[in-house]
């Protein structure tokens, strides 16, 4: 694979991973509501789900490309419905007080990634756009998808860090911030369905 193709793969991956998406926005909202410690299970779920979904993408691109469009078509609407529900939940949520024992769950973050069409499209587009012209080996596809998941994890951690930085501001202006986050998620649904 030529260096410029690898460079373009990396640029595409970084830009796609750092743009607002369901995982990044949920991570930001969780850290501003629950704080870093109570949000850790959810973040772990987001990260684990990201890796599993990217492995699924590699396997699909490797062996089941004829079946893939049908799966993505169904997942697109399931994902859109879940993300829309998430947007409404965020818009209506209020900051928690220090006495609340509840924390965000691993399973919520993990399952989000399975309906997060953005990362499926991200992984499949990266492979078919940059990698498959040079190799269709399952191990090569897996390696590139694991790079994507790692870049995505770094991006989500960046969004978590941003949430930690704005937590005090959030406590004062949570309604405006939640509405902006919900609208951003709604835009994700709109762009997914157009």
Poorest-pLDDT segment among 5-14, 66-75, 158-167, 172-181: 66-75
Q: Specify the higher pLDDT residue, 15 or 123.
A: 123
How far apart CA 54 and CA 113 sit, in angstroms, is 10
Q: What is the pTM of this model?
A: 0.73
Neighbours of 74 (CB within 10 A): 9
How far is the CA of 148 from the CAs of 54, 58, 120, 135, in angstroms? 8, 11, 11, 17
Which of these ranges, 33-42, 76-85, 129-138, has the smallest mean pLDDT?
76-85
The answer to whether residues 21 and 188 touch, using CB atoms and an 8 Å cutoff, is: yes
Condensed to tens digits (0 to 9), the pLDDT of residues 93-107 reads: 776 555 445 567 899
| 115 Cβ contact list (under 8 Å, min separation 6) | 75, 78, 79, 82, 83
Q: Output the CA torsion 123→128→134→140 (10° steps).
A: 30
With cut-offs at 50, 70 and 90, classify the pLDDT of residue 1: confident
How many Cα neighbours within 13 Å face the side chain of 15? Answer: 7
DSSP secondary structure of 12-24: HHHHHHHS--HHH
Compute CA 81 distance to the chain's CA centroid, rounded to the nearest angstrom. 15
47 vs 14, more confident: 47
Cα(24)–Cα(157) distance, integer angstroms: 8
Confidence of residue 189 (pLDDT cuts 50, 70, 90): low
Q: What is the pLDDT of residue 16?
A: 77
**Can you give the pLDDT at residue 45?**
94
Q: Whole-angstrom Cα distance, residue 113 to residue 89?
A: 17
What's the mean pLDDT when you consider all of the chain? 80
Domain boundaries, the chain: 32-193
What pLDDT, on a 0 to 100 scale, did the predictor assign at position 135? 85
Render pLDDT for 133-145 as a digit per residue (tens, 0 to 9): 888 889 999 999 9
> CA-CA-CA-CA torsion for 174, 179, 181, 184, nearest 10 degrees?
-170
pLDDT beyond 90 at 13: no
pLDDT at 72 exceeding the cut of 80: no
């Amino acid at each position: 694979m030529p260096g410029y193709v690898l460079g373009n793969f990396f640029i595409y991956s970084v830009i796609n991973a750092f743009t607002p998406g369901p995982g990044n926005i949920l991570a930001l909202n969780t850290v501003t509501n629950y704080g870093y410690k109570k949000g850790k299970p959810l973040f772990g779920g987001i990260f684990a789900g990201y890796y599993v979904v990217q492995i699924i993408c590699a396997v699909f691109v490797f062996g089941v490309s004829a079946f893939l469009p049908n799966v993505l078509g169904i997942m697109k609407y399931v994902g859109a419905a879940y993300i829309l529900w998430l947007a409404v939940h965020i818009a209506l949520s209020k900051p928690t007080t220090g006495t609340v024992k509840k924390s965000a769950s691993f399973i919520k973050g993990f399952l989000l990634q399975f309906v997060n069409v953005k990362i499926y499209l991200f992984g499949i587009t990266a492979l078919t756009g940059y990698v498959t012209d040079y190799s269709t080996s399952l191990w090569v596809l897996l390696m590139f998808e694991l790079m994507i998941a790692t870049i995505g994890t770094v991006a989500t951690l960046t969004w978590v860090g941003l949430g930690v930085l704005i937590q005090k501001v959030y406590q004062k202006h949570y309604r405006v911030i939640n509405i902006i986050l919900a609208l951003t998620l709604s835009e994700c649904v709109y762009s997914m369905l157009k």
